[in-house]
Amino acid sequence: MSTSFHDVAAKLENRLGHAFRYGSSAFRFGLIPQSVSDHLPVLADLPFGDQSIKMLSWNLLADEHLFNNFMNISGSDYLEQALNTRMAGKENIYAGAMYHLFAEMGQYLLKHSEDGNIKVTKELLEGFIANEAQPSRRALSRDAETARLKVGQVEDARKALVDILLDSKALHAHEYQLALKQSMELIYHIKAPDGALQWSNRFKRLSGNSRAVAELASQDILAFQECTKPDDLETLIKNAKNSPENMVFLTHNLSPSGKSTDNVVLAFNADKFQLVEQETPANPLKTSFEGKKPALYCKLMDKKTGKEFIVGSVHHPGGDHDLRQEVIDNVKKLQGKDSEIPFYIAGDYNHTAEQFAEMDVDSTALDPLLFYPSQKGTMAGSDYGNVNKAIDAIMSDQALTNRIKVSPSIVLAPPSPVSIRVGFDIPGHHLATTTIDATLKPHIIESQAKFKETLQQIKSEEASRVIDALPVKHDDDDPDLGNRISLRIQS
């Protein structure tokens, strides 16, 4: 059986973990974009009878999901393999979830920073080993004995991490030093009052983008996912110039208390449309994907024509799950006996069209119902492997080909200023008198050599296609590459 394109791509990603970190995404340098969200807004011109409806959908990155950004540090199993080797057969409680380890380390070190600097010493690192120094969610259990065992596993893994950081000759030691720096940058921008990732600061950037605000205010339908504070958007849009006089906002989250930053939102122009009154099922229909992610649907009626249609704002879970049939099932509930009522269900589907197609060969009937922007990816910052790919889409029984595009109002965001500087002060350590940034150039050259070596190992038609499709040029003959990238980091 021939190796598939995606198998080879995954193989390259694993073998070249650190090389990919030096090319595919600025986020993996620890640079935090000054952007509103890690997604870009998607615009659609929806066909509806002899007219069209303007719709915008946007995942706004909920504050409660900011720690997911640590996945950009452990983007492959490269660092996990090094930790497993160091643990010498002991079970790694962070296996498959290394971002927890880096998030915990970042939080611990941030508490010991002073005036924007952190001096990493042997004593400071060893203080991180004890679970009580920064309690790990991986050690939680309702059973006391199980919790005790998990605490031991957490401390075993942390000791292995500290051993790697203290041993300049350890496998991938420099990779872990870079990961430490990136952890510090991330946790600062999550926790600090002026952190670039906090919604309060991201909302200021959105409010100051007059083009984006005007675009939001000009829509007939709005669909937001991961909306931290729906009231912020409602106030911003209603106060914008030329906004509809009567924009109705509907929200839904899965918190029992109703207080959550992970809200889905639907808003519609009530001057044009009205909710169809019905009791079974309720309208709007508030539900979820397996209790994991919220979904919101509603049936609207055009006030002029009396025609009905269904819109939705959904957040499909990631991972190896194809739950698109649940979208159709909920649409059918609102359609009732009239299956001809058109529907437009927008949101973050967390998968590309190709990923859905490979995941479930029995779902081919659903593939034609999902429409993506055709010209551009929908990720704006951290990518989780989705560089230049679209995962935000609209599910519809209407032909939306060439009717969906990525909004031009949100341009590429510059990196945030380096907020906290990391230096090592460990006797005998090769970084004792310098900073991590200053060592990047030789390490990038090393990455290029590893990249070239791996290409020699994997010679196949599929591998060639993977390399041809890479978004970043890797030029072994570019002597200034390290300098150029170092300057980017220090800007």
Strands 51-59 and 221-227: parallel
Long-range pairs for 290-294: beta carbons < 8 A, 24 or more residues apart = 290/317, 290/321, 290/323, 291/254, 292/254, 292/317, 293/254, 293/262, 293/317, 294/252, 294/253, 294/254, 294/262, 294/263, 294/264
Select from 341, 371, 402 the last residue of a domain: 402
Per-residue pLDDT tens over the stretch 364-377 = 778 899 999 977 77
Per-residue pLDDT tens over the stretch 330-363 = 999 999 999 999 999 999 999 988 888 888 666 6
Based on the domain organization, do 352 and 484 belong to the same domain? no
Answer yes or no: is 312 within a domain: yes
Based on the domain organization, do 225 and 323 belong to the same domain? yes
Q: What is the pLDDT of residue 491?
A: 22
Structure tokens given for 245: 């006089």
SS3 158: helix
Based on the domain organization, do 334 and 371 belong to the same domain? yes
Q: What crossing angle do the helices spanning 199-207 and 210-217 adopt, rounded to 10°?
A: 90
Answer yes or no: is 367 within a domain: yes
Answer yes or no: is 1 within a domain: yes
Per-residue pLDDT tens over the stretch 421-468 = 787 787 665 544 344 444 444 444 554 555 556 555 654 444 455 555
Based on the domain organization, do 323 and 469 belong to the same domain? no
Based on the domain organization, do 201 and 333 belong to the same domain? yes
Q: How far apart are CA 36 and CA 28, in angstroms?
A: 18
Q: What is the pLDDT of residue 259?
A: 86
For residue 122, pLDDT over 70 is answered with yes
Q: How far apart are CA 42 and CA 51, in angstroms?
A: 20
Query: Is residue 117 very low, low, confident or very high in pLDDT (cuts 50, 70, 90)?
Result: confident
Based on the domain organization, do 332 and 371 belong to the same domain? yes
Based on the domain organization, do 35 and 12 belong to the same domain? no
Contact 327, 362 (CB under 8 A): no
DSSP 3: P
> Which residues are registered as beta bridge partners of 53?
46
Query: Is residue 81 very low, low, confident or very high in pLDDT (cuts 50, 70, 90)?
Result: confident
Answer yes or no: is 288 within a domain: yes
Q: What is the pLDDT of residue 198?
A: 94
Overall domain count for the chain:
2
Query: Is residue 30 very low, low, confident or very high in pLDDT (cuts 50, 70, 90)?
Result: very low
Is the pTM higher than 0.85? no
Select from 402, 433, 465 the last residue of a domain: 402
Select from 343, 377, 402 the last residue of a domain: 402
Supply the mean pLDDT for the chain: 81
Structure tokens given for 213: 């605000």
Lowest mean per-residue pLDDT among 93-102, 169-178, 229-238, 337-346: 169-178
Answer yes or no: is 415 within a domain: no
SS3 54: strand
Print the domain residue range for 382: 31-61+197-402
For residue 417, pLDDT over 80 is answered with no
How many CB atoms are located within 10 Å of the residue 445 CB?
16
Residue identified by tokens 């002029």 is 304
Per-residue pLDDT tens over the stretch 311-325 = 999 999 988 889 999
Based on the domain organization, do 396 and 461 belong to the same domain? no
Based on the domain organization, do 13 and 50 belong to the same domain? no
Based on the domain organization, do 378 and 469 belong to the same domain? no
Cβ burial, residue 361 (10 Å; 0-12/13-18/19+): exposed
Structure tokens given for 375: 């010209």
Q: Report the CATH number at residue 302.
A: 3.60.10.10
Answer yes or no: is 38 within a domain: yes
Answer yes or no: is 81 within a domain: no
For residue 12, pLDDT over 90 is answered with no
Based on the domain organization, do 391 and 488 belong to the same domain? no
Answer yes or no: is 154 within a domain: no
Based on the domain organization, do 311 and 351 belong to the same domain? yes
